């Protein structure tokens, strides 16, 4: 029996057998042994990733040493992680015939699924990830991720933290050189980002390199935070010396290497241009959606949803007196309406961020109407750092430390304030903040009797699907003040539906950047620069963009099925309590949501 059949049959059995008494049964000896195994596997994962340790806020006590290190990004480290994952799978498969409670059976199924997916890209293709197949590109590589990581994840509270920061700067230089060597190797195998991506990458590298060492963002991040904590020491000189003598020479070497490789990259924009590209894309879709949907099925789904959402928007826009032109043309006109725009200035950006915070606070007040458990995890809203805004996503979320020592962060790319007309901002905040990513991820991290392997797991279709469902829930909770604000929410859905068409168009139908961008602009009405940045992301991260709407469809169906089954006994708060079980494949979500709702009724 393959893993898909195993997951389906075990989920069906749980649905048939589940009763309130069964779900409440005391864990037996096998449950306890499995919990200990989960904990041991999690600890071994931490051993292999100092950055993961820091991201969770666990770099203290016995793991304080991790704070001076970065992840080993070498090929041998990738193979070491693969071997550890394969060993964990073998160990856990021994529990398939154990006598487990329903909750532990779920934990076993989900964790085995997640671990199995982690082996695919390194074992089959010699890549870290099918969804991120290129070593260096406009949103990937140490040059892109490490400076941001040092500022947002590495906390500064004591002198030892400053020393650890300087040590990580040295590690950054080593990782840059490793990236350079491995990108040369990958390029020789045919895995090199498209030319325009390398151009964007070079621009960002040169922007990072162009700062005087003492004034660089990497140095000033340490200097300012140390001063704020009253920590004595000449941190500027120490950090600047590492940047000048180690990081910049390594960055110069990387710039020279990418410039030399630029003319050698294959033509085209999709993953099809690489060896075994079609196989990689199939693996990427599987990883991103946790389903077996094909590219053709996803493409057709996108076309149908684009048509349906456009029809809904037509009604709202006509009601607002906007009748001329296509849906995209009418939305484009709305996007440049002066009443919808913040000034393109420091003051305008400050006002925009202030409004996002007000939207979060207003939605927090509404959450008790739909949720029983509401984490109090702090959330900050920040602009994407200017050094990476040219290639960064339009918005994204970083989780908080487990112990609350570092808040969660919702980033918005403010390179061009014109990308953010006011009517579209509430849906973004509900997606990235509450009741979206921040509520869902914080709920999982604060859940009680759930293995850490599941509390910290990320499954794109589950997580991004929930975030879209959260935009829909915000509508039900009265989060959109005007019909035009609601048009912003539907435009957000239209945008994600168009992604289904574009991602599959790029990677399965050989669309180029221009064709894909034209489609996005025509259908969504978003500004061309914003659409092009999105399309460039899809080209270099195949499959990821499909996870949103595929996941949203399953979340919506799970709720519809529970409501149809329970009728007047349906309780929205109990349905949302499924978040306390952590992320899971879509193949399990519908079944588990029904079980939770049924138990609540009982």
CA angle, corner 83, sides to 82 and 89, nearest 5? 90
| pLDDT, mean of residues 153-174 | 98
Q: Looking at residue 4, what is its pLDDT?
A: 31
pLDDT single digits (tens) 106-145: 999 999 999 999 999 999 999 999 999 999 999 999 999 9
Provide the token pair at 471.
């935009």
| pLDDT, mean of residues 228-233 | 96
Q: Looking at residue 495, what is its pLDDT?
A: 97
- Cα Rg for the chain, rounded, in angstroms? 24
Q: Looking at residue 587, what is its pLDDT?
A: 85
Cis before residue 435, ω within 30 degrees of 0?
Answer: yes
Q: Partners of 397 in the beta sheet?
A: 410
Q: Looking at residue 401, what is its pLDDT?
A: 93
Q: CA–CA separation, 597 vs 572, rounded Å? A: 9
Q: CA–CA separation, 273 vs 288, rounded Å? A: 20
Q: Looking at residue 598, what is its pLDDT?
A: 67
| pLDDT, mean of residues 263-268 | 97
Q: Looking at residue 601, what is its pLDDT?
A: 59
Burial class (CB in 10 A: 0-12, 13-18, 19+), 546: buried
Which whole-number Å values give the CA distances from 444 to 41, 118, 208, 588, in the listed order? 19, 20, 36, 17
φ/ψ (deg, to 5) at 127: -120, 155
pLDDT single digits (tens) 299-343: 999 999 999 999 999 999 999 999 999 999 999 999 999 999 999
Which whole-number Å values give the CA distances from 502 to 1, 82, 507, 543, in the listed order? 35, 32, 9, 10
Which of the four pLDDT bands, split at 50, 70 and 90, describes residue 595?
Answer: confident
Higher pLDDT, 15 or 92: 92
Decide: 367 and 479 in contact? Cβ < 8 Å: no
| pLDDT, mean of residues 205-227 | 96
| pLDDT, mean of residues 168-187 | 98
Q: Looking at residue 17, what is its pLDDT?
A: 36
Q: CA–CA separation, 159 vs 226, rounded Å? A: 8
Q: Looking at residue 492, what is its pLDDT?
A: 96
Which of the four pLDDT bands, split at 50, 70 and 90, describes residue 449?
Answer: confident
Q: Looking at residue 388, what is its pLDDT?
A: 82
Higher pLDDT, 507 or 13: 507
* Beta pairing class for 408-412 and 395-398: antiparallel
pLDDT single digits (tens) 374-430: 999 999 999 998 878 887 788 899 999 998 889 999 999 999 999 899 999 999 999
Which of the four pLDDT bands, split at 50, 70 and 90, describes residue 437?
Answer: very high
Which runs of E-coded beta strand occur in 226-282? none
CA angle, corner 262, sides to 259 and 268, nearest 5? 160
| pLDDT, mean of residues 460-478 | 97
Q: Looking at residue 426, what is its pLDDT?
A: 97
Q: Looking at residue 389, what is its pLDDT?
A: 85
pLDDT single digits (tens) 59-104: 999 999 999 999 999 999 999 999 999 999 999 999 999 999 999 9
Decide: 382 and 411 in contact? Cβ < 8 Å: yes
Q: Looking at residue 458, what is its pLDDT?
A: 87
pLDDT single digits (tens) 470-495: 999 999 999 999 999 999 999 999 99
Q: Looking at residue 599, what is its pLDDT?
A: 61
Which whole-number Å values give the CA distances from 290 to 77, 238, 458, 467, 547, in the listed order? 26, 46, 12, 16, 8
pLDDT single digits (tens) 507-525: 999 999 999 999 999 999 9
Which of the four pLDDT bands, split at 50, 70 and 90, describes residue 530?
Answer: confident
């Amino acid at each position: 029996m393959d893993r898909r059949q195993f997951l389906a049959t075990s989920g069906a059995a749980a649905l048939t057998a589940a009763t309130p008494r069964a779900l409440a049964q005391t864990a037996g000896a096998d449950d306890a042994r499995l919990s200990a195994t989960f904990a041991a596997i999690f600890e071994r994962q931490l051993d292999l990733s100092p950055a993961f340790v820091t991201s969770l806020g666990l770099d203290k006590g016995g793991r304080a040493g991790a704070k001076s290190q970065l992840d080993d990004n070498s090929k041998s480290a990738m193979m070491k992680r693969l071997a550890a994952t394969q060993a964990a799978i073998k160990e856990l498969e021994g529990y398939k015939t154990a006598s487990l409670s329903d909750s532990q059976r779920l934990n076993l199924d989900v964790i085995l699924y997640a671990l199995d997916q982690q082996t695919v890209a390194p074992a089959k293709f010699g890549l870290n990830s099918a969804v991120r197949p290129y070593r260096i590109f406009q949103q990937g590589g140490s040059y892109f991720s490490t400076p941001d990581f040092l500022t947002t994840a590495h906390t500064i509270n004591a002198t030892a933290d400053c020393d650890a920061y300087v040590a990580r700067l040295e590690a950054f230089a080593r990782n840059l050189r490793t990236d350079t060597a491995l990108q040369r190797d990958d390029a020789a195998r045919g895995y090199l980002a498209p030319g325009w991506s390398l151009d964007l990458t070079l621009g960002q590298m040169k922007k990072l390199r162009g700062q005087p060492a003492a004034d660089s963002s990497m140095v000033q991040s340490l200097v300012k935070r140390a001063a704020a904590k009253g920590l004595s020491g000449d941190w500027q000189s120490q950090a600047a010396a590492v940047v000048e003598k180690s990081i910049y020479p390594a960055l110069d070497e990387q710039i020279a290497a990418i410039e030399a490789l630029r003319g050698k990259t294959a033509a085209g924009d999709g993953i099809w241009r690489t060896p075994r590209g079609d196989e990689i894309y199939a693996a990427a879709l599987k990883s991103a959606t946790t389903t077996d949907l094909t590219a053709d099925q996803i493409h057709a789904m996108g076309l149908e949803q684009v048509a349906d959402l456009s029809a809904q928007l037509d009604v709202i826009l006509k009601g607002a007196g906007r009748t001329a032109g296509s849906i995209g043309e009418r939305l484009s006109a709305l996007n440049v309406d002066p009443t919808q725009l913040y000034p393109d200035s420091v003051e305008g950006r400050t006002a925009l961020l202030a409004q996002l915070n007000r939207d979060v606070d207003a939605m927090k007040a509404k959450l008790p109407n739909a949720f029983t458990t509401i984490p109090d995890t702090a959330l900050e809203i920040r602009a994407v750092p200017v050094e990476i805004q040219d290639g960064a996503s339009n918005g994204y979320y970083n989780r908080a430390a487990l112990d609350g020592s570092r808040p969660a962060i919702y980033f918005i790319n403010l390179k061009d304030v014109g990308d953010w007309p006011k009517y579209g901002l509430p849906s973004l905040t509900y997606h990235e903040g509450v009741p979206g990513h921040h509520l869902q991820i914080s709920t999982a991290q604060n859940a009680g009797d759930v293995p850490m392997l599941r509390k910290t797991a990320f499954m794109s279709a589950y997580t991004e699907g929930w975030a879209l469902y959260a935009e829909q829930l915000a509508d039900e909770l009265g989060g959109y003040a005007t019909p035009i604000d609601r048009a912003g929410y539907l435009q957000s859905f239209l945008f994600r539906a168009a992604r289904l068409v574009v991602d599959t168009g790029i990677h399965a139908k050989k669309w180029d950047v221009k064709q894909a961008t034209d489609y996005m602009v025509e259908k969504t009405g978003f500004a061309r620069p914003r659409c092009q940045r999105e399309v460039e992301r899809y080209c270099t991260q195949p499959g990821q963009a499909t996870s949103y709407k595929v996941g949203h469809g399953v979340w919506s169906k799970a709720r519809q099925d529970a409501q149809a089954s329970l009728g007047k006994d349906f309780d929205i708060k109990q349905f949302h309590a499924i978040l306390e079980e952590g992320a899971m494949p879509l193949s399990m979500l519908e079944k588990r949501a029904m079980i939770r709702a049924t138990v609540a009724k009982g």
